[in-house]
Amino acid sequence: MVKWEQREKIEIPSGVSAEASNGTFTFKGKLGKTSRTLLDNYVKVELENKAITLSISKVNRYTKGIVGTWASELRNCISGVQEGFTYAMKVDYTHFPTRVSVKGGKVVVENFLGERSHREAEIVGDTKVSIKGDRLTLTGIDKRHIGETCANIERSTKIKGFDLRIFQDGIFPVEVEDEE
């Protein structure tokens, strides 16, 4: 018989409903719905009485790391469906005025470093991208998707073949915050 040791307990606040089936946890709140699949042989996640408990059967660095990561993921899901997340990015250019727009599921960067072809970055999941002047605002309920979209936009303006001390153009994250 395997003895499970409880390592972490996460309370589910009022206004958020949670369901669990086959290792997939789904959270619903006022802003929407998000889910995570958490499966491992040595870590057990259970939902009971408006609380999620994470237990381990084998104490080592691997299982402790998984518990910490999963607890953070679950807390982000809960706060995401309650308040949401916002990332702010800034368009910096010195030499050529860069135009940024959203077309379909992509962010399109035009005239970057005077290039004739445009650069594209994929918008991941249900992330909403709004552009006002030289600021991009990324909002949504899934922190992973917003972070990946932010990374895609920053990566699309990576400069190659120029002196980075002189050409400091690009789109960079400037602020990460929870919506309130």
DSSP summary character for residue 162: S
Q: Which of residues 82, 104, 136 is at a domain's end?
A: 82
Distance between CA 59 and CA 123 in Å, rounded? 39
When divided into structural domains, the chain yields a total of 2
Q: Which of residues 82, 99, 124 is at a domain's end?
A: 82
- Chain CA centroid to CA 87, Å: 9
Range of 128's domain?
A: 85-178
Supply the pLDDT for residue 180.
Answer: 45
Antiparallel, parallel or unpaired: β 128-132 and 119-122: unpaired
91 plus 163 within the same structural domain? yes
Interval 97-107: pLDDT, tens: 999 999 999 99
Average pLDDT score over the chain: 91
Range in 70-74, 150-154, 176-180 the model is least confident about: 176-180
Look at residues 60, 43, 49 and name the one whose alpha carbon lies nearest to residue 6.
43
Look at residues 147, 136, 105 and name the one whose alpha carbon lies nearest to residue 122.
105
pTM metric for this prediction: 0.87
Which amino acid belongs to residue 115?
E
Supply the pLDDT for residue 178.
Answer: 61
174 plus 101 within the same structural domain? yes
| pLDDT (mean) for 28-47 | 92
Q: Which of residues 30, 63, 82 is at a domain's end?
A: 82
| pLDDT (mean) for 28-46 | 92
CATH number at residue 107: 3.90.930.12
Assigned token pair, 112: 């970057």
How far is the CA of 102 from the CAs of 65, 107, 109, 137, in angstroms? 38, 5, 9, 12
Supply the pLDDT for residue 179.
Answer: 52
44 plus 120 within the same structural domain? no
Interval 71-117: pLDDT, tens: 999 999 999 999 999 999 999 988 789 999 999 999 999 999 888 99
